[in-house]
DNA sequence: CTAATGTCTATAGCCACTGTAGCTTCAAGA
DNA sequence: TCTTGAAGCTACAGTGGCTATAGACATTAG
């Protein structure tokens, strides 16, 4: 049995984050020691590692909740898990495309800065005048990265 | 003079967002009509367009605040604006690299799904077992895109 | 036994908005 | 002129995914 700190270290997740996951029902309530401290089994570590890894891959907590409940029923077909992963892949590809076009535009902007005064600064100018953009950004979607 | 709705349409920014920008001091307080409704000048439209465009490029509101104050002093050298844009570019390149490696791993995961049952599902398996990863994700940073 | 570290709860804050409720103001049509 | 419906107003709560703080209790090493 691990205390929350050891668990966090082992899984690479911060302690408050573990408590947060429990609070929102992503992890089951932990057993408690005589002194009311959380105790975790090896299985709990696996589960948390799964969560961390999925988070690293950009899955939302909701998607992870679904994946966890799927992995709790290993006899069912894996089409649902596959679908979640595919949706995630599509999301990431969308973001990649968007970031790539932002990068092009930013590069252009930065490259054109001749080091003069603000009045002649392309950075400021391009930001103020959309018609100077290279790329079309397409419709708005969520786009608030990070 | 434009009402807030027209301004929003013209700049491509939602009305509550404009009020929010005013509230946090990113935009100056708007003039008011006799009936207490906000009125905006052409200049305000330019400023808001600048903000929207910078947001689309992924600048934080703090960075935009700096850029705006730079553009309010056009006689100074543009090194600062250039630095902000370069920092933003570096950020975006980091995110691009990260997303690209996530994409590789997700693709591998999805490709290996043979359509069997959860018990054999690579998606679930890979998520649970870090040693099955292809890519190294590097240290944690912010990584919470979109 | 003591001191340092770890854990507990509860609560607030972060970013950049978005949504809600309940009101007032305005512009256009009958 | 009156009415109706859209658009505006304020204030506040909620989103996602944590992170930080405060003050009390538990555990462990020396």
Our measurement of CA B35 to C1' D2, in angstroms, reads: 20
> What local confidence, expressed as pLDDT, does residue A5 receive?
97
Nearest to A130 by CA among A97, A105, A100, A113: A105
Phi, then psi, of B59 in degrees rounded to 5: -65, 145
Q: Could you give the count of Cα atoms lying within 13 Å of A84 in the half-sphere of its Cβ? A: 25
Lookup: tokens for A112: 């054109």
Residues in chain B: 146
Phi, then psi, of A79 in degrees rounded to 5: -60, -40
Q: Which residue of chain B is at minimal alpha-carbon distance from A88?
A: B106
Task: Report the distance separating Cα A71 and Cα A76, nearest Å.
Answer: 9
Q: Is the CB of B60 less than 7 A from some atom of nucleic acid strand C?
A: yes
pLDDT > 70? residue B91 = yes
Q: Which residue of chain B is at minimal alpha-carbon distance from A90?
A: B103
> How far is residue A69 from each of residues A37, A75, A77, measured CA to CA in Å?
26, 12, 13
Q: Is the CB of B53 less than 7 A from some atom of nucleic acid strand C?
A: no
Is there a contact between B110 and A82 if contact means CB atoms under 8 Å apart?
yes
List own/partner pairs for B59-64 with CB under 8 A and 24 or more apart: B59/B84, B59/B88, B61/B24, B61/B26, B63/B87, B63/B88, B64/B26
3-class secondary structure, A2? strand
Could you tell me if A39 and A57 are in contact, meaning their C-beta atoms sit under 8 angstroms apart?
A: no
Domains of chain A, residue spans: 4-58, 79-132
Interval B103-145: pLDDT, tens: 888 888 888 876 677 877 777 877 777 665 544 444 333 333 3
Residues in chain A: 146
> What local confidence, expressed as pLDDT, does residue B5 receive?
97
Which residues numbered 34-73 in chain B sit less than 7 A from strand D, measured from CB? 36-38
Beta strands in chain A (DSSP E): 31-32, 38-39
What class, spelled out in words, does domain A4-58 have in CATH?
A: mainly alpha
Strand D positions within 7 A of protein Cβ atoms:
7-11, 16-21, 25-27
Q: Could you give the count of Cα atoms lying within 13 Å of B90 in the half-sphere of its Cβ? A: 6
Which residue in this structure is represented by tokens 């305000």? B44
A118-137 residues touching B, CB cutoff 8 A: 118-121, 123-124, 126-128, 130, 133, 137
Q: Is the CB of A95 less than 7 A from some atom of nucleic acid strand D?
A: no
**CATH of the structural domain B4-71, one choice from 1.20.20.10, 2.40.50.100, 3.40.50.720, 1.10.1660.10:** 1.10.1660.10
A18-37 residues touching B, CB cutoff 8 A: none
Bridge partners for B31 per DSSP: B39
List own/partner pairs for A111-118 with CB under 8 A and 24 or more apart: A113/B78, A113/B81, A113/B82, A113/B85, A115/B77, A115/B78, A115/B79, A115/B82, A116/B77, A116/B78, A117/B74, A117/B75, A117/B76, A117/B77, A117/B78, A118/B70, A118/B71, A118/B73, A118/B74, A118/B75, A118/B76, A118/B77, A118/B78, A118/B81
> What local confidence, expressed as pLDDT, does residue A143 receive?
37
> What local confidence, expressed as pLDDT, does residue A133 receive?
56
Which of B50, B89, B146 is the closest to A145 by Cβ?
Answer: B146
pLDDT > 70? residue B1 = yes
Mean pLDDT over B63-86 rounds to: 87
> What local confidence, expressed as pLDDT, does residue A50 receive?
92
For helices A42-56 and A4-11, the axis angle rounded to 10 degrees is 40
Q: Are strands B38-39 and B31-32 parallel, antiparallel or unpaired?
A: antiparallel
Q: Is the CB of B36 less than 7 A from some atom of nucleic acid strand C?
A: yes
Which of A57, A105, A143 is the closest to B105 by Cβ?
Answer: A57
Residues of chain B with C-beta less than 8 angstroms from the C-beta of A144 = 146
Lookup: tokens for B142: 């912010």
> What local confidence, expressed as pLDDT, does residue A98 receive?
86
List per-residue pLDDT tens for chain A, 146 residues long: 999 999 999 999 999 999 999 999 999 999 999 999 999 999 999 999 999 999 988 899 999 998 898 888 878 888 888 888 899 899 889 888 888 988 888 888 888 877 778 877 777 877 777 665 544 444 333 333 33
Q: Is the CB of B39 less than 7 A from some atom of nucleic acid strand C?
A: no
Which residue in this structure is represented by tokens 């043979």? B114
- Picking from B85, B91, B119 by the largest number of A CB atoms within 10 A of its own CB, the best residue to mutate is B85
Interval B8-57: pLDDT, tens: 999 999 999 999 999 999 999 999 999 999 999 999 999 999 999 999 88
């Amino acid at each position: 049995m691990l205390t929350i700190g050891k668990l966090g270290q082992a899984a690479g997740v911060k302690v408050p984050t573990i408590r947060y996951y429990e609070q929102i029902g992503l992890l089951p309530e932990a057993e408690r020691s005589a002194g009311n401290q959380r105790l975790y089994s090896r299985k709990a570590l696996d589960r948390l590692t799964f969560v961390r890894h999925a988070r690293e891959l950009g899955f939302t907590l909701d998607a992870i909740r679904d994946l966890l409940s799927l992995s709790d029923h290993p006899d069912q077909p894996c089409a649902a898990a596959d679908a979640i992963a595919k949706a995630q892949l599509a999301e990431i590809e969308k973001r990649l495309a968007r970031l790539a076009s932002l990068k092009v535009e930013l590069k252009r902007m930065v490259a054109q800065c001749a080091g003069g005064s603000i009045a002649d600064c392309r950075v400021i100018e391009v930001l103020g005048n959309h018609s100077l953009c290279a790329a079309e950004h397409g419709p708005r979607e969520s786009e608030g990265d990070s």
